[in-house]
């Protein structure tokens, strides 16, 4: 079955070639995210939509898609899509888990190493010509990881893979999730289940691996930061809305916690006036958790497969709910 497809961003050539064989396609190439008015006008007559995490595919927008049969997101997260409403309208929603697990766990590790060893900060020192002034016993002093406690919130695919990395670094692993994982998995990962309270109070590093839901919305606010160790670092590669960004900026400025490494933000892209941008004790990445050549190609492949299945009324390989 043919039809019209709209992509809010381009994909790899092989994926576009595959799509062009079957559909009439149109791609947004301007600013990110595509302005809502433009997306609203585009969705009106398409059969399939390929979107990204920064696109807000809400009820109002989905209603405009009179012919829409499938929304295929190029991401594991789907909190940017009103999946309940899509289901009501019998619109399939596909997403891309599994293939990006390693890359995203690696990104959490990269942020952990970067913020604990002040690498990006050091890079700024060199580029700003300050190395000659700042180089003594107490400069660029970071934190050891070996023997320190890492608190992992959410021990799903990415959280567990990150735990494997933390184990290799000889860190003590605490975790909290809706329910404990099996004893054998705990043993393999050398991870101990604790309450959320214990996780935040006892950890030297906290890494967030939960989706954004009503329960996790702004879970990390000033009340949590005050309970964390002053020397603690917060890592987030899941979703920005799990953190209250204003509170985090205040907590970092006042040294309530020591630092943070973030790959995700409440509203992406963040602009240059965001309070985080002025802070030294934070590493910022532009939502690139899944961004390796290999992973991004696999994601493109699944995104297209999900779209093909959904447009034909079939369940995508990775399908949300319906």
Q: Which residues are catalytic?
A: 239, 268, 287
- Please spell the DSSP secondary structure of 169-211, one letter per residue: TT-EEEEE-SS---HHHHHHHTEEE--HHHHHHH-SEEEE---
* Closer CB to ligand DGY, 106 or 204, in the complex: 106
Could you give the CA distance from residue 27 to residue 265 in angstroms, rounded to a whole number?
25
Identify whether the C-beta of residue 50 lies closer than 8 Å to the C-beta of residue 74: yes
Rounded Cα gap, residues 37 and 39, in angstroms:
5
Query: Is 8 a residue that touches ligand DGY (CB under 6 A)?
Result: no
- Least distance in Å: CB of 93 to ligand DGY? 13
Q: Does 104 bind ligand DGY (CB under 6 A)?
A: yes
Minimum distance from CB of 80 to ligand DGY (Å)? Answer: 9
Nearer to ligand DGY, 208 or 224 (CB): 208
- 293 with 299: CB under 8 angstroms? no
Is 3 a residue that touches ligand DGY (CB under 6 A)?
Answer: no
**Site for ligand DGY, residues 66 to 95, rule: CB under 6 A:** 75-77
With binding defined as CB under 6 A, does residue 216 bind ligand DGY? no
Question: In the Cβ-directed half-sphere of 219, how many Cα atoms lie within 13 Å?
Answer: 22
Select 290 or 308, whichever has its Cβ closest to ligand DGY: 290
User: 23-62: which residues touch ligand DGY (CB under 6 A)?
Assistant: 53
Instruction: Give the C-alpha separation, 237 to 319, whole Å.
Output: 22
Of 289, 296, 307, 316, which one interacts with ligand DGY (CB under 6 A)?
289
Tell me the HSE value of 317 on the side-chain side, using a 13 A CA sphere: 18
Kindly tell me which residue out of 86, 100, 112, 166 binds ligand DGY, with binding defined by CB under 6 A.
100
In the complex, the smallest distance separating the C-beta of residue 290 from ligand DGY, rounded to whole angstroms, is 4
Residues near ligand DGY, by CB under 6 A? 53, 75-77, 100, 104, 287, 289-290
């Amino acid at each position: 079955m043919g039809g019209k497809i709209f992509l809010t961003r381009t994909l790899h050539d092989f994926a576009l070639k595959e799509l062009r064989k079957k559909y009439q396609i149109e791609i947004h190439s301007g600013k990110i995210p595509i302005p809502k008015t433009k997306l609203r006008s585009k969705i009106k007559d398409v059969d399939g939509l390929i979107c990204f995490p920064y696109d807000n595919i809400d009820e109002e927008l989905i209603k405009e898609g009179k012919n829409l049969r499938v929304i295929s997101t190029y991401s594991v997260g789907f909190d940017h899509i009103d999946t309940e409403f899509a289901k009501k309208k019998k619109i399939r929603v596909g997403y891309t888990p599994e293939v990006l697990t390693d890359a995203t766990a690696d990104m959490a590790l990269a942020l952990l190493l970067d913020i604990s060893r002040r690498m990006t900060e050091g890079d700024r020192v060199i580029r700003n010509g300050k190395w000659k002034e700042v180089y003594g016993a107490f400069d660029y002093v970071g934190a050891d990881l070996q023997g320190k406690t890492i608190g992992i919130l959410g021990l799903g695919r990415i959280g567990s893979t990150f735990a494997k990395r933390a184990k290799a670094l000889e860190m003590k692993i605490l975790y909290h999730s809706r329910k404990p994982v099996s004893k054998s998995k705990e043993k393999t990962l050398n991870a101990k289940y604790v309450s959320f309270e214990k996780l935040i109070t006892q950890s030297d590093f906290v890494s967030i691996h939960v989706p954004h839901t009503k329960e996790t919305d702004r879970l990390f606010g000033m009340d949590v930061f005050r309970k964390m160790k002053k020397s603690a670092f917060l890592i987030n590669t899941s979703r920005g809305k799990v953190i209250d960004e204003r509170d985090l900026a205040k907590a970092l400025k006042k040294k309530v916690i020591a630092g943070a490494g973030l790959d995700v933000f409440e509203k992406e892209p963040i602009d240059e006036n965001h309070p985080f941008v002025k802070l030294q004790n934070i590493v910022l990445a532009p939502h690139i958790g899944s961004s390796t050549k290999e992973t991004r190609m696999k994601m493109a492949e699944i995104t297209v497969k999900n779209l093909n299945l959904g447009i034909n009324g079939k369940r995508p390989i990775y399908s949300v709910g319906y």
